[in-house]
Amino acid sequence: MATMLYQGHGSYRFVLEDGTVVYVDPFAGEGYELPADVVFVTHEHFDHNQVDKMPRNEDCIIVRASDVHPSPSEYLTIDVHGVRATAVQACNKNHPIDECVGLVLELDGVSFYAAGDTSMTDDMRSGKLANMAIDYAVFPGDGFFNMDVNEASECAKLVDAQHNIPVHLVPMNDPGDSAQLFSQERAEQFQARGRIILAPGDELEL
């Protein structure tokens, strides 16, 4: 069973049953002491791509958006250190569709949708994500660089994951300011099936 540590903002870490350590969008919070086996970066904004925050094992693989989204029409599936990652659309006015991805990760038999920075996408509207029978999903809702929590709630309905987690709830304007990583008020405004609210430092067994 994989364990998720929510580090804050859009950053989180997984530790798999066999000890494999996976980071997604490193930037915020604590919990970077474990050497990484895989680091996923959904796009290259400063608050998602701090891949030097943690030690890395010798065979660590860093997977960037361009690795799984090499052209505007291509979204790839790759397998790295026992994790299968399928790229899907992520975009809004602040995040060009050709530079960003969401990722559906298969971790110890559990599917996890890492939305990245996005608003509602065609992959959500078309039922593509719902057809993937996702177990857990995270959705951003800062209402400035991304959709607000109301739109995030609508996206959660379309994706139809079993459990839904609000993240990236506070706009991050300054690369040096990671103090405010979470908003309980905005998290509680997010409405979705199986909602789970995680504060920075909280862990979740998937």
87 in the Ramachandran plot: left (φ > 0), alpha (ψ -120 to 50) or beta?
beta
Structure tokens, 61 = 């693989």
Q: What is the dihedral of CA 27, 201, 65, 116, to 10 degrees?
A: -110
Cα distance from N-terminal residue to C-terminal residue, the chain: 6
| Structure confidence at residue 5 (pLDDT) | 98
Write out the H or E segment, with its range, that includes residue 186.
helix 184-189
CA proximity to 90, closest of 151, 42, 29: 42
pLDDT tens-place string over residues 143-167: 999 999 999 999 999 999 999 999 9
* Order of strands across the sheet that contains 77-80: 77-80, 83-88, 102-107, 110-114, 136-140, 163-167
pTM over 0.85: yes
Q: What is the pLDDT of the chain when averaged over all its residues?
A: 96
Angstrom distances, CA of residue 182 to CA of 6, 41, 83, 143: 11, 20, 28, 13
CB neighbour list of residue 160: distance below 8 Å, 6 or more residues apart: 129, 130, 134, 193
| Structure confidence at residue 181 (pLDDT) | 83
For the chain, 206 residues long, the average pLDDT of each consecutive 10-residue run is 96 98 96 98 96 98 98 97 98 97 98 98 98 98 96 98 97 64 94 97 97
Structure tokens, 163 = 């459990």
Domains, the chain, with CATH or none:
3-196 (3.60.15.10)
| Structure confidence at residue 174 (pLDDT) | 57
| Structure confidence at residue 171 (pLDDT) | 87
